[in-house]
Amino acid sequence: MIIGERLKEARLEKNLSQETLGNLLGVSKVSICGYENGTRTPNMSNFLKLIEILDLDAKYVLGMDVNVVNEENEEYPVKMATNDIKIVEEIKKSRELYNMFCTNPKRTVDRIKSKFNLK
């Protein structure tokens, strides 16, 4: 979903309609809408054209724009999306939930999915 949000944000900053961007890319307005809503994924060729048209950095669009740091404030050679960092920060606010994720992340996710009837 982060890809779609960032594409839409950049499109709007450039004052482009979905139809105009689609014409520049050689796809339909429906395809652009799908990219932005996360229901479609551009192929590699279209992705590269999109970042060129919108003047974006691929790592930013993919959500790899924030360096991850450890408790000693040393950077890891990994980047995370800002949204992912916010999720972790929220989980860490609940010591019990955080401990559940640390102890058995798969089981914790499965329990949450079950609670909300998710696949």
> What distance in Å separates the CA atoms of residue 56 and residue 61, rounded to the nearest whole number?
7
Q: What is the reported pTM? A: 0.61
- Which residue has 């929220």 as its token pair? 90
Q: Residue type for 9, please?
A: E
Q: What is the pLDDT of residues 87-104, one digit of tens each?
A: 888 998 888 888 888 888
Task: Kindly report, residue by residue over 19-47, the tens digit of the pLDDT.
Answer: 999 999 999 999 999 999 988 999 999 99
Ordered by where they begin, the domains of the chain are 2-61 (1.10.260.40), 66-115 (no CATH)
